[in-house]
Structure 1
Amino acid sequence: MTPLPAAADWTAEQDRLGFFGPDSVTWRIHADPSFSVGGLRALLLQALHPVAMDGVARFSGAFRDDPWPRLIRTAAYVDTVTFGTRTEAVRAVARVRGIHRRLGAVEETTGRAYRVDDPDLLLWVHCCEVDSLLTTARRAGLVLTDDDADRYVAEQVTTAELVGVDRADVPASVGELAGYFERMRPSLAATSAARDAYRLIVLPPMPTWVRFLTPAQPAWGGLAVLAVALLPQWARRLYSLPGLALTDAAATGALRAFRQAALRLPRTARRSPIVWAGIERVAGPAQLTA
């Protein structure tokens, strides 16, 4: 596993800018309202790897009863690695590495003994996230050229390296990312754990008063349906639920409408405090209205 960088590896200015900075495609994609839908798509895609999903099901028992804290922590982690200083990002990664290195088991359907921090499992999670956030942002209407898309995938190699994947093993272009998924498809399956995760993401538990007295359930349901519809067709077939997804054209239209509505919300509702803190630290007040 690749070692984490240390403060001695960068200057104070590099620390302030973080690992990406305001000129990166990563900032554009991760600050866009489509990020929330892309994150759900990533979770649904990640669940199709039997061994990776076994790790989630086995070691995240509380997630089944109350998924919200884990979802919030995951979003905060990605925001910190993206928009935090390098010191903050490495601190967040070190916490995750510390948890992962203690966990391992045997996945029943494949018989594979694994550790949660096996590089191939970390790579799978990484590639699902990158593909989902990029695909969702482009379909939502964020203007990204083909060069921008390749640049985003290349920038995200740093994220994979931070969690412990050898840089040489990480797809660095859209074409390489597509090739990775093509190679992985024969080993994927919708195990019982994956189907449980699917149901939990689409219909998460909510307190009765939240379910019936607030718009939380229909709002979440709308995002979840979009995330399902944005999955590649081969992934929907694995879940045996292709008919529940919108057509590709309808999904794109609904996603674009969601993004436009979200862009009209107050800024605090569009982006997390971690994102705004990063923008203010690096780009200055002029960017705060973006």
Structure 2
Amino acid sequence: MSQPAVMDSAELGLFGPDSVTWQLHSDPAMWLAGVRGLFLQALHPRTVAGVVQNSDFRGDPLGRLMRTATYIGTTTYGTVDEAQAAAARVRALHRTLRATDPDTGERFRVDEPDLLLWVHCAEVGSFLSVTRRAGFPLTKALADRYLYEQRTSAGLVGLDPEEVPGSVEHLRAYFRRVRPTLRNTPDAEVINDFLHSPPVKGRLAAGLPLYRLAIGRLSYSLLPGWARRMYGGGGYPERVSTLALRAFRAAALAVPGGFRIAGDVEPAQVGAVRRLGEWAAPSPRRLPRL
């Protein structure tokens, strides 16, 4: 099915169905990539202090993950108006939040540019690393295109897109530059423990043993070696992690109607296809030819 001859560009969203972002963000490996990103983000002392001091993740264990997933889904697959409205709400919230540096006692804003840049880079770096390792067919050129596209996402949260890595090489250089500032802290251990074993109750508690093995420990194992060493090591061996990741992706892709972490939450890409038509369905086959 082809794209209609006349289509309001605002309906196509910020990236559109012909982008790398549109195809990549529908892949089920993104769920593990998102958790891996949270592990990585927590190694930045100020970033994790802002999370621990402002977030109710203990009282709402799945809340942050689902809110982050909803935000990414809206900014990827929503209309331009929906994406900009979601970003405006996030910026407005961040403007109100402050935290105390546990080392210096200094009060700081959680939307400081260096903190926003770290969160962005840890996130998109995790999305790229995990999906490619899972078998999503991204060439170096497509990975560069994805990071260039994600400068738009960085701009949504208040960063200058020109100051954000727009290629794999630039992202690697950023990580090399920031690594000396990263370390395990008591706050990072709080997040580490939480992501390995969230304090869920009721029906969710029955699935906790499976989560610990298939989500928590596997996502941790997908971190780069230097990050795992900061946490004290552990995790599955590299080959086991890759095989488990690919098995997770294959099983999720086989689920009729699309894989869902929460059964009652419609994936954003499903809503986009309903809005635009079947021609817009995300698929690795639609990746640009670069």
Query: Structure 2-normalised TM-score?
Result: 0.89
Alignment partner, residue 231 of structure 1: 223
Shift of 1:147: 0.5
Letter in 2 for 1:25: V
Q: CA deviation at 1:14?
A: 2.3
- What CA RMSD, in Å, does the superposition of the two structures yield over aligned residues? 1.8
> Higher mean Cα deviation, 99-108 or 119-128?
99-108
**Would you say the 8 A contact 1:22–1:279 is kept in 2?**
no
Q: Does 1:125 align with 2:115?
A: no
Matched, 1:221 2:213: yes
TM-score, L = length of structure 1: 0.89
Aligned to 1:262: 252
What CA deviation, in whole Å up to 9, does each residue of 1:154-209 have, x standing for no partner?
10011001110011210000000000000000001111011000110110012155
CA contact (8 A) 1:51 1:112 kept: no
- What's the counterpart of residue 8 of structure 2? 13
Q: Which runs of 5+ in 2 are unaligned?
A: 1-6, 284-290
Q: C-alpha displacement at 1:46, in angstroms?
A: 0.4
Q: How does 1:119-198 map to 2 (within 5 A)?
A: 119-198=113-192
Q: Return the alpha-carbon distance in structure 2 between the equivalents of residues 279 and 80 of structure 1.
A: 13
Match of 2:49 in 1: 54
Q: 1:102 to 1:270 in 2, by over 3 A?
A: closer
The residue number in structure 2 matching 1:83 is 77
Whether contact under 8 Å (1:280, 1:287) holds in the other structure is no
Alpha-carbon distance, 1:13 to partner: 2.1
Q: 1:146 to 1:167 in 2, by over 3 A?
A: same
**Number of residue pairs the alignment of both structures matches:** 273
Aligned to 2:286: none
Cα distance, 1:286 vs structure 2: 4.7
Give the AA of the match of 2:227: A
1:69-99 per-residue CA deviation (whole Å, 9 max, x = no partner) reads: 2221111011001111110001000111111
Q: Is the 8 A contact 2:269 2:282 kept in 1?
A: no
Structure 1 residues 220 and 265, CA gap change in structure 2 (3 angstroms): farther
Q: State the SS of the aligned residue for 2:117.
A: helix
Q: Matched residue of 2:255: which SS? A: coil
- CA deviation vs aligned residue, 1:227-269 (integer Å, no higher than 9, x gap): 11110111001101x2x21122221111111111111102243
Structure-2 separation of matches of 1:209 and 1:280: 31
1:125 deviation in Å?
A: 0.4
Note the residue ranges of structure 1 that are not aligned, 5 or more in a row.
Answer: 1-11
% identity of equivalent residues = 46
Taking the aligned partners of 1:25 and 1:185, their CA distance within structure 2 comes to 28
Q: What SS is found at the alignment partner of 1:236? A: helix
Whole-Å separation in 1 of the counterparts to 2:67 and 2:203:
24
Q: Which moved more, 1:15-24 or 1:265-274?
A: 265-274
> Which consecutive aligned stretches of 4+ in structure 1 deviate over 4 angstroms post-superposition?
286-290
